[in-house]
Amino acid sequence: MDTMSKRILIVEDEARVVQLIRGYLEQAGFQVGSASTGPDALVQFDVYRPALLILDLMLPGFDGLEIARRIRKKSDVPIIMLTARAEEMDRIIGLESGADDYVSKPFSPRELVSRVRAVLRRAEGGLSKATMLESSGLRLDLEKREVWHNNQPTDLTPLEFDLLALLMENPGRVFTRLQILESLRGVTYESFARSVDTHVKRLRQKIERDPQNPELVLTVYGVGYKFAPLKNNHGAL
């Protein structure tokens, strides 16, 4: 999917959340605009002409549902709603806001980007190629969040998945533990407080031929970790 020309409008009054989402979307190749109130959102929608709207439910002025309702009167633009609590989704669906997808806070920014891609692809008729990461016998479907290792489906926790995706998207680049934690911030995994080292260890047990002598997710002593694509790909891909 050509995302270069795709503009996304984030409607959210919390600057920290906007900044977080913006960073991830820009990294994924989107252009990003933002609005912090309901009235501002309606103006921005007309001026900015986004391909997709990310709409927070709780906003000053009028809320995300009201914005969605008003925009639906004049446009079929895909809308992803952000909600503070999972229970609110039922309410949103019940009210038939016209939203295309829902993400409850706190959320994984990487997963939100996956949802954005999926919703845009659906809106475009579903003909675009899925977003896959493939290297060294590993295959990650970033939209379905599925992993295969040597053609075997592999169960990773959400954090392990995001960690592996981060490293595989930047093969050879060394990430410090702090960079890894920062990259995964905004997510609420039960195990978030556990050290990066522990997550790497568990990930290795799932994807390395010999977890004691890792070939894919390598330790860079005194710095952090990196993904090293195999020179001789012995995977079945």
**Interface size with Ca ion, residues (CB under 5 A):** 3
- For Ca ion, the binding residue among 31, 40, 58, 72 (CB under 5 A) is 58
Minimum separation from the CB atom of position 143 to Ca ion (A)? 26
- Told to check if 56 binds Ca ion by CB under 5 A, we report yes
- Told to check if 13 binds Ca ion by CB under 5 A, we report yes
Minimum separation from the CB atom of position 59 to Ca ion (A)? 5
- What x-and-dash track marks residues 184-223 binding Ca ion by CB under 5 A? ----------------------------------------
Stretch that binds Ca ion, among 5-13, 34-42, 92-100, 101-109 (CB under 5 A): 5-13
Exposure string over 124-139, b if 16+ CB within 10 A, otherwise e: eeeeeeebebebbbbb
Dig out the tokens for 224 from the structure.
Answer: 């952090």
Minimum separation from the CB atom of position 65 to Ca ion (A)? 13
> Residue 159's beta-bridge partner residues?
none
Stretch that binds Ca ion, among 49-57, 131-139, 158-166, 171-179 (CB under 5 A): 49-57
- Interacting residue ranges for Ca ion, rule: CB under 5 A: 13, 56, 58
